A and B are shown apart, each in its own frame.
Chain A
Amino acid sequence: MRWDQSHAGAPVFSAVVATVLAMSTLTPLIDSPRWLVLAFLAVMAVASVGWCLQRMTRSRWLVMLGQLVASSVVLGWLCAGTTLWWGLPTWTTGQRLIDQCRAAGAEVVAGTAPLAASPNLTCALVAVTLGLGIVVHLVAIGYGAPAATGLLLFIPVAAAAANTTGGLSWLSFAAPAGGWLLLLGRDTSSSLARWSTSPALALTPTGTPRSEDQADTGFAARSLSLAIGGIVAALTCAAIIPHLPTRYLLDGLAEGINGSGNGAQVGYSSTLDVGRSLASADSSEVFRYRTTAQSAVPLRVIVATSYEDGVWTRPTPTLGTTARSDVAASVQRSEQTVTVRANTLAAPALATPQPLVGADFKGAAWQIDQATADVYVETRPSDYATTYLALEITPALLRDGVDGIPGDDRLPSNRTVQQSLRLDLASADRIRALTAAVTRGTSNRYDAALAIQHWLRDEGGFSYSLELAAVIPGPTALDPISAFLDSRRGYCVQFASTMIMMARASGIPARMAIGFLPGIWQDGEYAVSSADAHSWPELYFPGAGWVRFEPTPGGNVGSPPAWSVPAATAAPTTAPGPSPSVNPSGSGQPTQPGDQGVEPVDGEGVTEVDVPWVERARLWLTDPWHVALTLLTLVLTGSLILPSTAAIRHRRGHPHGGSDAEREWQRLMSDLADLGVTAPERGTVRQTANHIAAEERLPETTTNSLLTLVDAVERDRYARPTGGQGDRSGELRLAARHVWLTVARGKTWSRRLRAFLAPSVGRLWWREHAHRVTGRGQPDRRPEGGGRWRR
């Protein structure tokens, strides 16, 4: 019974470790990891109580009840200290805890990652951790099914994955997986320990009795190897498969607010109030579409350029049948189509991918704004098809312009661009100062834009929330951007507006785009609902035109476009080295796009010499691929330790100092034992050989090889020692190899792999040395046939 052997504390505390490791995947969602420390201490305390209880009672339910009581006490101490009565929780404590958890739930639903670690949230997280810890304890130790805890431990991982922008890092899966393996490993080793204490079977040298314990051990070992295999496969997949568009497992917690959804038509007003909370999100479907492109792009409805008193308005359109293209001819492009159906968006607005090059509106009268390429229709088309240009926009293009010369003075002087550089008067000073601070150290517009986006997404401490903070009476009352900068809470409109203003402050024309995110992938098409409505900034770069950026953080908004994510190794915004001023010769060179890709690499090659190798190694290791490569190398090297030990030991020969035949025989026996072939313990050489030949159904030729070896061993051991007997080591080695190959061919590949990776000779050597180092008694060396062992 497993309950008994769990008296050793190790399984209990491995359950604690596994629980806390699983919960630790939530840390990126909360802005401070302090709650995890508290949760760890609390779970540790409760697990200790459970451990003590299970030494007193055999009922797993009593143990769980005791742990629940302990949890309430611990939670009371941590979160509701004032309501305790002599250190014990009271009715009020329970009320307080429930209230706190409710408040935390509201915070989770309203906000998005990273959430502020409020006392309510901390309390709720500790409570969740405690609950998980108790259930894991019950399942892993009470019911003796640690493998089943894998599902429980997966819940926090799934929650974290669902709410992390751009998906969870594959490395953060490793921690809970390791915890789970720890639990499984404990189980396996305790099964093994039990097996070794079971009474030995007396005098049954032939055959391999399959006792229940052995079957149990085999099962435990197999489940552990399965688990390891699964986790390695999961990590390998995560590391190898390129980053896919984010799919939300639980649709993101912040989408929990579901409005009435009365199916009314969704329309777009021509204005956008930045100061309004978005309290009622509607999740009714707006349209569905399919696309020929590999990744779906947001569909734009309107563009707004002027901002005044917290409201975005679009310019008066110059309607026509063609729109101006700002994209240089040398930019790589491909034409993709988007086919929309079941469109419910009210006329005249229409969602289209940009930059648009062609459309079929199925008979509906349409016009296009020549400046912005917004499409206006007279009647709502239910289905329509559009063709747009999928541009290959590269950081090099945005940084250096289409012809390699940063086009600071190449901004077109049309009306749209002029309007797109105008700052809001109310917040202008503050925005300028802020922008100067944020973009310090950047040398071009693109890097400045990256810095701004990075600041809004990660560094600035902003959190996503559909509810805006209450407007504080004062000078910023009518200035939503300043209010947003104060409260640091908002949704896409506030983020986009702020980025636009900051971009304008650093000289980049910027405008507000409003449209829809790709929505949910269903039945081969994207289903876009009104909850997918989104706004984003578009920044103008000479040559590339209006380029989308994504400053809004959080799980349920768009992932940033590829060009707006700085590459990990290039890190142009942080590395001060290779800037155009350092390498003046570059400006005089014939400027061709191909050279642009080469030059920065050369520049880095020069600067790398100055960096100390430790720093270089650290930089090198920042790439997950390099980490994976290093880990792989380490694992491969590590896994070769045992085989190489065995090989060295075989070469040194048998400790008994036997001859070639003896050495080959011992080696063959140990190799066969690794393959799971066992021989009767006290048998003679020939009996062992005959047993193996019969058990493994060796063919005639292999049996003869085996007997050749047996004959040599027998002569070596029992025949009269003679001097010149010729060197037969080659022949014997071939014979032994033949036998081993034949036997190995009949085994499963996993058995062969295990025999290769963990040969018993190598294991024995390391165990002996470990014992020698630790000096803990004598290793349990099995006699190799020569010991005096009496029952």
Chain B
Amino acid sequence: MAEGLMRGAIDTRVGRAAVSRHDADMDEVRDVAARLARAMETIIEGKPAVIRTTITALLAGGHLLIEDVPGVGKTMLAKTLARAIASAVRRIQFTPDLLPSDITGVSVFNPESRQFEFRPGAVFANVVVCDEINRASPKVQSALLESMEEGQVTVDGQTYMLPQPFMVMATQNPLEMEGTYPLPEAQRDRFLARISMGYPAPAAEMAMLDSHSGRSPLDELVPVTDAQTVARLVLAVQSVYTSPALRHYVVELVTASRANSALRLGASPRAALHVVRAARAHAALEGRDYALPEDVQRVSPAVLRHRLVLSPDAVIARRTTDEVIVELLRSTSVPAAPH
């Protein structure tokens, strides 16, 4: 239902009327995003919405939480994105014995120079794929989440900046909960969006069997852009204009979530911030230099669904977070004019 609303909310005609009058930055964002999406679609077949959300999160400078059952291509998605950008990519398999220093890096004494040298950890990359993030101890999780939030790493009182762009794509398996350390709400809040891969359609699955049976298709993937370009685009996206009316709309939306009886925990102010950032990126993907309520509506399910906690009554009534988000979007008036 959420997908239906999202598809309905954005009309492809938006761009056509708007393109001609926009500055080059947004056109570039759109072109690069389109190239990126095309490249990713050759690997991840039949999932354009997932790819679009991924690119939106990338351009918004946010991090992505991919939650789904094993074997649907979570890691493949992350690797595909990293490969398509031609950037440094690191993959960390989270296990209970992982240490924070494995993530952040460690200072090692160099006898020759008689100085401590910093050996960067796995987090020093443009795209960091954190497999099964809930299997590591909370200490390790928090080390990662700190660097996600700050964009920097501090070891032995020395602060090291992380490369730009920097994106964490964490996966987690909702089924095997034994021996895991589920991410607390406060930490989940730091991910810009959460997506589920879902099973591919039969046709896409057959194509996948054909292309993935031999050697890895990733090897054939030619990068379509580079990290510098993406970093520039992330900056450009931040210049997308959000009008007071639109910000008012977002505030109305999160306020409504806090008052909704089906929710035990509503959207945080950071959620509102993330919605606006994602809406900016989405507007840029459409080639616009201003965000519309449609952008907010389109990104809201992905941005909000891992932050809202259903009330016990709603759980018993078998309602889902996505349903509640659709209801919030429908019952919140779109601002007509600046207030």
Contacts and interface: CB of A to CB of B under 8 A. Distances in A.
Contact of B332 (A682, A715, A717, A784): A682
A259 interface: no
Contacts of B337: 654, 656, 658, 662, 717, 786
Given A205-B330, A682-B334, A785-B333, A720 B293 contact: no
Interface in A762-791: 783-791
A789 B241 CA distance: 27
Contacts of B333: 681-682, 783, 785-789
Nearest to A681: B333
B13 interface: yes
Interface string B223-237: 000000000000000
Interface stretch (B144-152, B167-175, B284-292): B284-292
A687 B7 CA distance: 12
A296 interface: no
A717 B17 contact: no
Given A682-B331, A719-B289, A784 B243 contact: no
Contacts of A791: 331
Contacts of B246: 718
Contacts of A687: 8-9, 294
Contacts of B14: 686
A654 B18 CA distance: 25
B24 interface: no
B198 interface: no
Nearest to B332: A682
A789 to B, nearest CB: 6
Interface stretch (A473-481, A508-516, A706-714): A706-714
Interface residues of B, number: 32
Contacts of A205: 330
A759 B64 CA distance: 52
A684 B13 contact: no
A182 B186 CA distance: 67
A791 B289 CA distance: 34
A268 to B, nearest CB: 90
B54 interface: no
A711 B9 contact: no
A715 B288 CA distance: 10
B245 A717 contact: yes
Interface in B307-338: 327, 330-338
B338 A717 contact: yes
B293 A708 contact: no
B331 A684 contact: no
Nearest to A656: B337
Contacts of A656: 336-337
B339 interface: yes
Interface centre among B335, B337, B339 (most CB of A within 10 A): B337
Interface in A670-722: 681-687, 690, 707-708, 710-711, 714-715, 717-720
B243 A717 contact: yes
A714 B13 CA distance: 13
Interface in A1-24: none
A687 B9 CA distance: 7
Contact of B290 (A662, A681, A715): A715
A708 B17 contact: yes
Contacts of A200: none
Given A682-B331, A788-B333, A720 B241 contact: yes
A718 B13 contact: no
Interface in B1-59: 8-9, 11, 13-14, 17-18
Contacts of A789: 333
A684 B331 CA distance: 12
Contact of B11 (A662, A690, A719, A785): A690
A201 interface: no
B231 to A, nearest CB: 23
Nearest to B339: A786
A719 B241 contact: yes
B297 interface: yes
Contacts of A783: 333
Contacts of A681: 333
A720 B11 CA distance: 22
Contacts of A684: 9, 292-294, 297, 334
A711 B330 CA distance: 22
A203 interface: yes
A683 B294 CA distance: 9
Contact of A203 (B252, B256, B331): B331
A658 B338 CA distance: 9
Contacts of A718: 241-243, 245-246, 290-293
B17 to A, nearest CB: 5
Interface string B265-297: 000000000000000000000000111111001
A74 B294 CA distance: 72
A715 B11 CA distance: 16
Nearest to B338: A717
B332 to A, nearest CB: 7
Nearest to A712: B17
A603 B297 CA distance: 83
A785 B17 contact: no
A203 B333 CA distance: 12
Nearest to A688: B334
Contacts of B241: 718-720
Listed residue (A654, A681, A786, A789) with the most chain B CB atoms within 10 angstroms of its CB: A786
Contact of A785 (B9, B294, B334): B334
B335 A786 contact: yes
Nearest to A205: B330
A162 B13 CA distance: 70
A254 B294 CA distance: 81
The residue in A687, A690, A710 that gathers the most chain B C-beta atoms within 10 A of its C-beta is: A687
A791 B297 CA distance: 20
A784 B78 CA distance: 45
B292 to A, nearest CB: 5
A686 B294 contact: yes
A681 B336 CA distance: 12
A208 B83 CA distance: 49
Contacts of B17: 707-708, 710-711
A707 B252 CA distance: 27
Contacts of B243: 717-720
B336 A785 contact: yes
Nearest to A703: B13
A773 B30 CA distance: 57
Given A682-B331, A717-B243, A785-B334, 9 more contacts: A656-B336, A682-B334, A684-B297, A707-B17, A718-B242, A718-B291, A720-B241, A786-B336, A790-B331
29 contacts: A203-B327, A658-B337, A662-B337, A683-B334, A684-B292, A684-B293, A685-B334, A686-B14, A690-B11, A708-B17, A711-B17, A714-B290, A714-B292, A715-B290, A717-B243, A717-B335, A718-B241, A718-B242, A718-B245, A718-B246, A718-B293, A719-B243, A720-B241, A783-B333, A786-B335, A786-B336, A786-B337, A787-B333, A789-B333
Q: What are the 8 A-B residue pairs with the smallest beta carbon separation, nearest first?
A: A785-B336, A719-B290, A720-B241, A656-B337, A786-B336, A718-B243, A711-B17, A684-B293
